[in-house]
Amino acid sequence: MGDNAPLVAVMMGSKSDWEVMRQAGEVLSQFGVPHESRVLSAHRTPSQTAEYVSSAEGKGIEVIIAAAGGAAHLAGVCAAHTVLPVLGVPMESASLKGMDSLLSTVQMPAGIPVGTLAIGAAGAKNAALLAVAILAGSRPELRKKLHDYRAEMAAKILKETLS
Ligand code: RP5
């Protein structure tokens, strides 16, 4: 991670997803992982989405996080245009509470995988942590940060007191 070229692309179908998806960016920043965030929609900007994802590998991006809500095709469309790992985050939706987003993201036919995380903020944070874990396979400094992160989380929980 010598230069600041993004290793992770955080994509979302709408700016309305940003309040949740900024939390993925915050986790990546916490681990010092260069990333870029973009609003690109499978439906509203189909050709620009395909173009961005098709060129991601050549730009040095190694993991794509794709969040969408409703008929959430974004992660699947991204996966169709790249062999990079694609992590899908279903957004909570007003009408079906994200069950629509979850099923649209997770139910990929065999051959084009999307690694789907939980609905909403937990999924956003875990997508970033999983991206770090993927990058850590060839980056010992990131592997160490993940160990430290888990140790800190455990220490915090063990210190909890109940009154
Ligand atoms: C999806 O539709 C987006 O990912 C968002 O979650 C949902 C609603 O989008 P807006 O109508 O708020 O732009 O494509």
Residues in contact with ligand 1 by the CB-under-6-Å rule are 12-14, 16-17, 41, 68-70, 91
**Cα 29–123–133 angle (5° rounding)?**
55
3 — pLDDT class (breaks 50, 70, 90): confident
**Cβ proximity of 12 and 69 under 8 Å:** no
Compute how many other C-beta atoms are within 10 angstroms of the C-beta atom of residue 81.
Answer: 19
2 pLDDT higher than 60: no
Rg (C-alpha) for the chain, rounded Å, is 16
**Cβ proximity of 85 and 31 under 8 Å:** no
38 pLDDT higher than 60: yes
Residue 88: CA count within 13 A, CB half-sphere = 29
13 C-alpha vs ligand 1 centroid, how far in Å?
Answer: 6
- Closest ligand 1 atom to residue 12 Cα is 4
**Cβ proximity of 10 and 35 under 8 Å:** yes
150 pLDDT higher than 60: yes
Query: Which of 11, 12, 14 has most ligand 1 atoms within 8 Å of CB, for mutation?
Result: 14
1 pLDDT higher than 90: no
58 — pLDDT class (breaks 50, 70, 90): very high
pTM score over 0.85: yes
Check residue 26 and give its pLDDT: 98
